[in-house]
Structure 1
């Protein structure tokens, strides 16, 4: 049974070096001023009072040091400070984009990396920006200078998962645990399919997207700890093999960490955490589950899954994909789903050309309200029956068949949708592809959004978008310069091909049909 030989028999190091990234003491501790101006009172989302002089006044002394990056200042202003999460070693703030007014989370930490390390970190962050899953916190922007590193992420306000379930769930009602933990595993399954290992999964890093739902988000994948592996953060979720010398991280370590989260959700206690770090490491390595935990209080299905996930032998642990097939998740009953307005928009979506898809993808990333994104994410989750973070033809076919009851009609609809939406041709709908088709285009493509977004792309303020200006938003693509010029030409009027797109051409392309 892995880590637990039986429910009756429970019992069967070293410190991390002090991290060069442990820098929270260098950051200001005083709570930041909260800006009084409400978003709806702002003109063009940026009031005149928030000029550069006002910003300097608000963030003088200690605050000015954290807000010193000019590019970050140009794009965001800080509205409030948030409580630290997930062992993050720095400061966390709520920020608003100066153009769109959308809320984001900004994580700011001291930059103690050398040139080689910062190059690697930037490369990793560029790759992480491409991650596309409804249960993973989205990284939107990042900045760095010689003093600080700034990560700007998707906003959430539903709180810590463990606290949320503790206050809302009756002691014997465990169906919510299966529902939320399935989403955690779905996120891990997706990460592992992209050859990304999280390395720091813990309960405080699993958050709820909104107060009104149980859409789960996994955080922390972009923290410095995940790249350089030296930290004073909570080690109680680490697998036993990770304390060995010269250990090389693998996916099985993430499975162990997730298993500890499930243990906490089911039993209400951590199995190994003790009074100090050394005792905790000893308990993990020796598989000493606390004696005051009665292992008989949960059902056999949950016990089997936990036991397999926290097996001391990492080679015996199931993969995330295998975990999702356990009987424990059979208690979940996905609602009988009618075709929502989002799905109707998917059905009606017309794929015009690659440039339109590129621009829509960027607009969604920078302008889509959190509430709409989360609502579409919930629809996506209901269709994604095997929780692999993408929708297959079979999964979408089941939804349309349930609606129409006609097999031929359902197949025809699904084939048409995939021919229009499967941008990368991999026979699956990724989350971003689903967002492009199902978002509310009327709201997204309003005049203010179009102007703001065009100005964001028009970096040299020439009132035209060049191939080079568009190219900077896409890191490490296989497209050559001539390819990008051809992409730009897709949005140009045939009478004039100067490899640039005017505002009129931009609007015409996006609002056609």
Structure 2
């Protein structure tokens, strides 16, 4: 950055009896005539084996439907208005789901989009469902009517990052900055690995999940800005190259924006921002850092990282993955967990039934309390040592080895966990997979939650869930109608086999062995 020149020294059922069809050659063939059904009829009543790759689709977040064409007012009521963040062109509210009572954040903006643009926007939002990271704010629902669009997101109440750390900015120690900035970079690293560019990273767009902790959430990736606007409202975080008429957004621009955030957190002020928009742009293009900034007031390690991230040449900026390897983060000491209740639940989790797993993935999204989600997110962060937003076998192995001290036992535990949870077979545990296994089922499966969730799925109020009702909650899958019926059959009482699940079958499926 411009400070390189002035600080050169810093550069561096029951059991069945044996069947007469078990293969004994000495059994008389007449015995077959005593069976109630013909062989072909019995065969037709047996569910075909399910294609595991198709089942995996239903578990993946990107296939969970974001848009259900209902009115926002049908599902939520507004409780309070919040201060807008991240330059969002609209209003932000705290809302409550009318059935569950869970709090959410609703971003409501005027609907200025043509019908084709609405379709394009919904497609974009649906693509965001694949984002599965504890430091990226979760999008739950989207609604639109003639006047407004509504984005319903994960609730947070810890304020924006700048406000939380304002007093620390006056301290020379700044002990929390590396910890929170590592989370920001982890979110950006994950976004870029999924081929998303944020384009609008600002300090006000980084929020704190709870007042009691510093779990960081990156917001704004779902704003209209990302596909229908050319420039973000706060230009002071834009990289110099983005002001070119022919500029095509790339990942390096996000690195610059994050570098500005680190500059603010370390120095207590923005390097380029002026009251005049034109002067701000000029300062960015010319790399004119404010003269009153004492560039020598921070550590060499912090200085080097900032310098690299806001290098005027985008080709020379490190990637988010490379940034996370800088010496600046070596000072972070992740607290020893030994073994937490969340990790114990992961170890004890049994997959057993694919339909149960699918229902759990929906239930954790719809009914998991924020406090539980945040607690699990913190555990996930401590295990994810390389900050890529996924847990590898080796990272999980380190946790169980620390507990038992037995290498073979730790490996066996990890292999068992992955065989139960790694649905897509990519050799990693995603955050949603970890949530399902580690969430407290005693809390999640209380009677009220089970009734609410069943009623949500039972759209025609028939007191049964059909294949058609379940598939409404999924998007762009390769499952045929026959496949969906096979999925439903996994939860049925085998004596009935009517391709529908009653409430009793539903409860039995979810709570078995819990």
TM class by shorter chain equals: 0.7 to 0.9
Q: Is the 8 A contact 2:239 2:284 kept in 1?
A: yes
Q: Superposed, which structure 2 residues align to 1:93-492 within 5 Å?
A: 93-168=93-168, 171-230=171-230, 233-492=233-492
Q: Shift of the alpha carbon at 1:247?
A: 1.5
Match in the other structure for 2:84: 84
Distance (Å, rounded) in 2 between the aligned partners of 1:480 and 1:320: 40
Q: Shift of the alpha carbon at 1:150?
A: 0.2
Q: Is the 8 A contact 1:3 1:312 kept in 2?
A: no
Q: Which moved more, 1:127-136 or 1:429-438?
A: 127-136
Distance (Å, rounded) in 1 between the aligned partners of 2:402 and 2:490: 38
Residue aligned with 2:141, SS = strand
Report Cα offsets for 1:352-380 as digits up to 9, x if no partner: 12211111011110111111110010000
Match in the other structure for 2:505: 505
Q: Shift of the alpha carbon at 1:2?
A: 7.9
Q: Shift of the alpha carbon at 1:483?
A: 2.1
Q: Shift of the alpha carbon at 1:131?
A: 1.6
Residues matched between the structures, number:
455
Q: Which moved more, 1:246-255 or 1:321-330?
A: 246-255
Q: Is the 8 A contact 1:401 1:407 kept in 2?
A: yes
Q: Is the 8 A contact 2:421 2:437 kept in 1?
A: yes
Runs of 4+ in 1 over 6 A off after TM superposition: none
Distance (Å, rounded) in 2 between the aligned partners of 1:168 and 1:443: 37
Distance (Å, rounded) in 1 between the aligned partners of 2:286 and 2:352: 60
Match in the other structure for 2:44: none
Distance (Å, rounded) in 1 between the aligned partners of 2:276 and 2:412: 61
Residue aligned with 2:236, SS = coil
Q: Superposed, which structure 2 residues align to 1:3-22 within 5 Å?
A: 4-7=4-7
Residue aligned with 2:176, SS = helix
How well do the aligned residues superpose, as a CA RMSD in angstroms?
A: 1.7
Q: Which moved more, 1:138-147 or 1:474-483?
A: 474-483
Match in the other structure for 1:16: none
Q: Shift of the alpha carbon at 1:170?
A: 5.7
Q: Shift of the alpha carbon at 1:76?
A: 0.5
Relative distance call for 1:441 and 1:5 in structure 2 (3 A) is: same
Residue aligned with 1:118, SS = helix
Q: Which moved more, 1:339-348 or 1:126-135?
A: 126-135
Relative distance call for 1:104 and 1:301 in structure 2 (3 A) is: same
Unaligned runs of 5+ in 1: 10-68
Q: Is the 8 A contact 1:3 1:310 kept in 2?
A: no
Q: Which moved more, 1:418-427 or 1:468-477?
A: 468-477
Q: Is the 8 A contact 1:169 1:176 kept in 2?
A: no
Distance (Å, rounded) in 1 between the aligned partners of 2:504 and 2:133: 33
Distance (Å, rounded) in 2 between the aligned partners of 1:239 and 1:231: 12
TM-score (norm 2): 0.86
Q: Shift of the alpha carbon at 1:179?
A: 0.3
Distance (Å, rounded) in 2 between the aligned partners of 1:116 and 1:479: 27
Residue aligned with 1:465, SS = strand
Distance (Å, rounded) in 2 between the aligned partners of 1:511 and 1:163: 43
Unaligned runs of 5+ in 2: 10-68
Match in the other structure for 2:49: none
Distance (Å, rounded) in 1 between the aligned partners of 2:288 and 2:170: 28
Residue aligned with 1:157, SS = coil
Distance (Å, rounded) in 2 between the aligned partners of 1:257 and 1:297: 21
Q: Is the 8 A contact 2:93 2:106 kept in 1?
A: yes
Report Cα offsets for 1:190-224 as digits up to 9, x if no partner: 11111111110000000110010010010111010
Q: Is the 8 A contact 2:238 2:253 kept in 1?
A: yes
Bigger-Rg structure (1/2): 2
Relative distance call for 1:70 and 1:436 in structure 2 (3 A) is: closer
Q: Shift of the alpha carbon at 1:481?
A: 2.7
TM-score (norm 1): 0.86
Report Cα offsets for 1:465-511 as digits up to 9, x if no partner: 12222112222223333222221111112222232222111111101
Q: Is the 8 A contact 2:107 2:152 kept in 1?
A: yes
Distance (Å, rounded) in 2 between the aligned partners of 1:76 and 1:167: 36
Residue aligned with 1:137, SS = coil
Distance (Å, rounded) in 2 between the aligned partners of 1:491 and 1:4: 64
Distance (Å, rounded) in 2 between the aligned partners of 1:294 and 1:355: 60
Distance (Å, rounded) in 2 between the aligned partners of 1:498 and 1:284: 66
Report Cα offsets for 1:256-278 as digits up to 9, x if no partner: 10000000000111011112111
Report Cα offsets for 1:219-262 as digits up to 9, x if no partner: 11101012223356111001111111122111111111000000
Residue aligned with 1:175, SS = coil
